[in-house]
Amino acid sequence: MVGAVLILGTTNFGKKFINSTEICSTLKRKNKMNSILKHLSAISLTTLLSLGQGFSGEMVIGFGSCLDQDLPQPIWKDIKAQNPEVFIMLGDNVYGDTYGNIQKLERAYQNQARAFEKAGLGFPFLAIWDDHDYGKNDGGVEYSQKDESQKLFLKFWDLPEADRRHRNRGLSFEEIIHSKEGTVQILMLDTRYFRSPLKRSQILKKSSHGRYEPDYDTSKTMLGRDQWKWLTIALKREADLRILGTSIQLLAEGHGWERWGNLPLERQRLLNLLAQNSNSNLIVISGDRHLGGIYSLRTKEGIEFLEITSSSMNKPGSLTNEPDPLRIGGMYAGENFGIIRIDFQRRKANIELHGLNEGVVLSKTLNFDKTVLKGKGL
């Protein structure tokens, strides 16, 4: 594995990080928790990962979502065998819905720390949240404890004080991975903190196909003004390959659960922004659905957007058939994780979905353009 510049995790549950006497009463076990969490490795947001010292050949990036802290986690053995440079957690990294009691989320993180220690993980993490580590099922801007949840997230993943997520509302961030042979830009979106309420579907509410319908209200947002501004600027930076992480699916059209399509004007805004600043060197990764699949959308200009959904790592779904016009091939409902294998010399990236004890169950190859991907206007 290529060496990386890391901030080694020493997550400290013993410090008073929320002004709540209820939480502080549970934080007295600080020495024990520090010992449990010292193995975690979190990458500094503002640090450019320097993976290029002697690097040649393949770069491996792993990702997954939906990891229940109270269930067995055999998936880590398969993940470690892939030897990823970094592993991206796409949300629902714990199941800690608070129902008004933030201690439930804190306890979920404590249990997850023990599970991570047991797994003996040695690679660094990048992480974003989804609804169950946000603290409310399908939650958005209306969730009253989102700031407390953000503080718990920052502590668990041991993000340094210099990280922008300590100053900003929400958890969006950018990482740039440099090697001697190429550059990967990773952009992670927060689809919770600012997201407007969704529109309940009267037709779907009693079905197994979802609970929401598209809402064309122009006042509603997925990312919020500040995050849209940040993303627009970030997409103007140069990279050989972009990876865009979103906790909920971007391309999928075949269901009424949470997805970008519930706010179709916001979905189109994102697709337009990506088309303006990308060629076919973009991979979208998502989670949430408790199933895996690969999706493709080709614009009228010929740009192909690829999305791979990986979910769940240890909480598999029961759905076995969900028609979708944009999905390539079948879907996979067993425990799974994703891998992106990047070969800069051959200008190829293989995207793979791995099933527990099954190896690769779905895959697709992306061919890089010969030119460096650059945002228009530079």
| Lookup: tokens for 281 | 């060197």
Range list of H helices, 5-125? 21-24, 30-37, 75-81, 103-119
pLDDT digits (tens, 9 = 90+) for 230-275: 999 999 998 999 999 999 999 999 999 999 999 999 999 999 999 9
349 pLDDT higher than 50: yes
pLDDT of res. 203: 80
Is the model more confident about 368 or about 47?
Answer: 368
- Map out the domains of the chain with their CATH numbers: 7-367 (3.60.21.70)
71 pLDDT higher than 50: yes
**pLDDT average, residue stretch 150-165:** 96
Instruction: Say what the pTM is.
Output: 0.87
What's the gap between Cα 208 and its chain centre? Answer: 25
| Lookup: tokens for 271 | 């697709």
Strands 241-246 and 282-286: parallel
- For the chain, state the CA radius of gyration: 20
φ, ψ of residue 273 to 5 degrees: the values are: -65, -40
179 pLDDT higher than 70: yes
Give the number of other CB atoms < 10 A from CB of residue 175: 21
| Lookup: tokens for 282 | 């973009």
18 pLDDT higher than 90: no
pLDDT digits (tens, 9 = 90+) for 192-238: 999 999 999 988 665 667 899 999 999 999 999 999 999 999 999 98
pLDDT of res. 184: 95
**pLDDT more than 90, % of the chain:** 73
